[in-house]
Amino acid sequence: MKPFRLLSLLILLFAVPVFAAGELTERLAACTVCHGEHGEGRAGAEYYPHLAGKPAGYLLRQLRAFRDGDRRYAQMGWLMRNMDDAYLQAIAEHFAALPPRPPARATATRPPDPVLAQRAQTLLAKGDATRAIPACIACHGEQLAGLEPAIPGLLGLPEEYVVAQFGGWRAGVRRTPAPDCMAQIARALDASEIRAIAHWLSAQQQAEPQRPAPAGTLVPPQACAGLPDSAAQVLP
């Protein structure tokens, strides 16, 4: 009797969150049609980013930005426009809690240009001090898996999506209050470097998808808007 009870208790424990997640999935048909049933991205899609396992704080900030006009994408703005913070928070937590998966890959990726790939890797690992461009890994982590609670991982994002985000930062249609770090970086990079980084990121095969590093495991070198105070220290 006892093991049976324990078992049912265990089943109940696991079933409750699964049921809750399933219930929200049913409400979010508008999200999953592009971002995948489990937020894994859409097979063959060249644009839509995956959502599963991204930091909830990051997702919430993006959802609010779409709603409030700080990140302009007509389709997202349209769906977010009448949602309140409470629902956006629930949506962000829903996708953040889903296990990260290897994203569905676009069918054909062209072979990387070795010179550009090298350039991209240099920028990712070291940045360019002469132009005040920090290394990507300084904030997004050694594995580029992101940092809780608000810095996203980068691997597996579609190339065109990444290029479009840099375009958005440069044009001011994806923005945060100052200091808008990504806008500064995007304006310092030239177009071929942006393309190289985007291509390199989209072409990486991940054996094991990773969750963002726990909060506080690294201290970003720059104070940026939208990041918690602990991450906003300036290193000596």
How far apart are alpha carbons 120 and 123 in whole angstroms? 5
Nearer to other proteins, 46 or 190 (CB): 46
We find the least distance from the C-beta atom of residue 121 to other proteins, in angstroms, to be 33
User: Can you read off the two tokens belonging to residue 202?
Assistant: 């989209």
Which three-class secondary structure state does DSSP give residue 17?
helix
Nearer to other proteins, 82 or 107 (CB): 82
160 near other proteins (CB under 8 A): no
How far apart are alpha carbons 75 and 49 in whole angstroms? 14
Among positions 71-90, residues that touch other proteins (CB under 8 A) are 72, 74-75, 77-84, 86-87, 90
Q: Is there a contact between 71 and 174 (Cβ–Cβ < 8 Å)?
A: yes
27 near other proteins (CB under 8 A): yes
Q: Which of 215, 235, 211 is nearest to 227 (CA)?
A: 215
Looking at the DSSP assignment, which residues form a beta bridge with residue 133?
Answer: 128
We find the least distance from the C-beta atom of residue 94 to other proteins, in angstroms, to be 10
Nearer to other proteins, 80 or 194 (CB): 80
**Binding-site size, other proteins (CB under 8 A):** 27
Nearer to other proteins, 75 or 109 (CB): 75
Judged by CB under 8 A, the stretch of 20-28, 160-168, 202-210, 216-224 that binds other proteins is 20-28
CB-side neighbour CA atoms (13 Å) of 179: 11
DSSP of 43-57: TT-SSPPP-TTS-HH
Residue 147 gets which letter from DSSP? B
13 near other proteins (CB under 8 A): no
30 near other proteins (CB under 8 A): yes
| Residues in touch with other proteins (CB under 8 A) | 24, 26-34, 68-70, 72, 74-75, 77-84, 86-87, 90
